[in-house]
Amino acid sequence: MPLRTDPSHYLQPLGELARMAGERILDIYNSEFQVEQKGDNSPLTAADLAAHECLVAGLTGLTPVYPVLSEESASLDYEVRKEWKTYWLVDPLDGTKEFVKRNGEFTVNVALIHRGLPVLGIVHAPALGVTYFACENCGAFRQEGVESPVPIRVTVPAAHPLRVVGSRSHNGVEMELFLSRLGEHECVPMGSSLKFCLVAEGKADIYPRIGLTSEWDTAAAQCVVEQAGGAVVDLDGRPLRYNTKPSILNPYFLVYGDRAQNWTRYAAGIVG
């Protein structure tokens, strides 16, 4: 089934919608908000829910024919989801832990998925005033506030020493093993899907995620990286795909810019 509309036609209204959701997040960010715990012990705030409501309403109005799957949606059975060829995949507030820490490194993520692949992605960082966006066959861009968007590309060849971007909130023994195999490198700490975006704009060479994530965490930023010339693959080198199985969890993955290097060799023996 082909897309009903060229995805690039959605970029302007989606950018406006992401900024609107970002404004709702900032209203709460600048207040004395409360933090609750979800069933998996991850944090939940009123900002997550406010952004969710804004995005779902806006996307439903923009494309009533495409369903919306959001992190804050009610759980949907895979028997229903597997029939979706095209749908919106949303993380209303990616990096809630960073939001709670008030370090600004959180994002609004919106992706359009078609036949298992992200064909459009918006990553908006409201506290930083920066938006990254991309669309299949259109390239990837970075926009500061209301200034004109600037095209971005990954760094090729990779820098020496390697610049490895990693999470401020996650690490572990397997990650340390992976890093030890890389050789000389420097670490660039960053939260949320902004880690992908640093690779996309050439400020980092690789982001190894040796840990659990969900599909809404990665889809929008994957589109940005791929359209900037990079790749997002599992530890066997296969591009991440979406809505192909009952679980919404991703495998472990690598995000990198220089496609000429065999990055997966550093993950040998690591299972994710």
Residue type, position 154, single letter = V
Q: Residue 3: its pLDDT value, please?
A: 67
Q: Residue 73: its pLDDT value, please?
A: 84
Q: Quick one: which of 105, 227, 104 has its CA closest to 166? A: 105
Q: Does domain 162-267 have CATH number 1.20.120.340?
A: no
Residues of the chain with CATH 3.40.190.80: 162-267
Residues of the chain with CATH 3.30.540.10: 7-151
**Block residue for tokens 């992706």:** 111
Contact 247, 148 (CB under 8 A): no
Q: Residue 1: its pLDDT value, please?
A: 44
Residuewise pLDDT in 10s, the chain (272 residues): 456 568 899 999 999 999 999 999 999 999 988 888 776 667 788 899 999 999 999 999 999 999 999 998 867 899 999 999 999 999 999 998 899 899 999 999 999 999 999 999 999 999 999 999 999 999 999 999 989 999 999 999 999 999 999 876 556 889 989 999 999 999 999 999 999 999 999 999 999 999 999 999 999 999 999 999 999 999 999 999 999 999 999 999 999 999 999 999 999 999 86
Q: Residue 106: its pLDDT value, please?
A: 96
Between the alpha carbon of residue 258 and those of residues 174, 252, 262, 263, 268, the distances in Å are 23, 19, 9, 9, 19
Please give the model's pTM, rounded to 2 decimal places. 0.94
The tokens of 159 are what? Answer: 């820098």
CATH code of the domain made up of 7-151: 3.30.540.10
SS3 assignment, position 99? helix
Between the alpha carbon of residue 46 and those of residues 98, 105, 124, 175, 267, the distances in Å are 15, 17, 18, 32, 38
